[in-house]
Amino acid sequence: MEKGLQSSLFRIAIALNMLAVIIGMYFYAGQLANTPLQLAIFVPDCPLYVFLAILIILGIVRNGLFSFIVSIGMVKYGLWTVFVLIFHSGYYFAPGMLAVSVVFVLGHIGMALEGLALVPKKPLALPALALAIAWFLMNDFSDYFLGTVPLIPPEGMGTVRGLTIASSIILPVAIFALAIRIRENALVAWLRGILFREG
């Protein structure tokens, strides 16, 4: 990729990530205000992981386990949001919300793809996988049993909960097992070229 274009795309990517964090924290502000402090970390899932991704992209944090957990979080909550928006399409795609919801779907697909670009280079040991699964299951417990789940329509919550918990096991295992193939994917490699100036 031509260096000038690469630099421009990098700046755009950072700006979009920062904008996503700001919008996300605005979205969660009311819920955070009513959440006990010890559970607050489990509320703003998408903006939290996008913020952590920025730390990786800028080279502020360089740690394989950290990158692994953030990559899972980006994929999990990006796909979770797309699923919930489509699952509750009658609400989120009503005429008054259609444009915003379409932007949210596209943005969260981008979030999930960016998460794949964060998969660490060096293979991790099995304890890292166990830790990641435990972390995301703890987040699910907080969401669905302690009340930190995002404010979404309550209909079908059992389905949402079941798929969310399943994803906390399936996604870490899949990303752990397929890390090399993920990194070699052409789209992921292109994204890494933008985010990490590779290639």
What phi, psi does 125 have (nearest 5°)? -80, 165
Counted residue by residue, the chain has a size of: 199
Distances, alpha carbon 182 to alpha carbons 75, 100, 160, in Å: 12, 30, 26
CA–CA gap between residue 54 and residue 45 (Å, rounded): 14
Query: Are 153 and 91 spatial neighbours (Cβ–Cβ below 8 Å)?
Result: yes
1 CB-near residues (< 8 Å, 6+ apart): 190, 193, 194, 199
Token couple for 62 = 């360089």
Angle (CA) 148-105-189 rounded to 5° is: 105
Displacement of CA 12 from its chain's centroid (Å): 18
pTM: 0.95
Say how many C-beta atoms besides its own lie within 10 A of residue 56's C-beta: 21
Task: Give pLDDT tens digits for 81-99.
Answer: 999 999 999 999 998 899 9
The pLDDT tens digits along the chain (199 residues) read 677 888 899 999 999 999 999 999 999 999 999 999 999 999 999 999 999 999 999 999 999 999 999 999 999 999 999 999 999 999 999 988 999 999 999 999 999 999 999 999 898 999 999 999 999 999 999 999 999 999 999 999 999 999 999 999 999 999 999 999 999 999 999 999 999 977 5
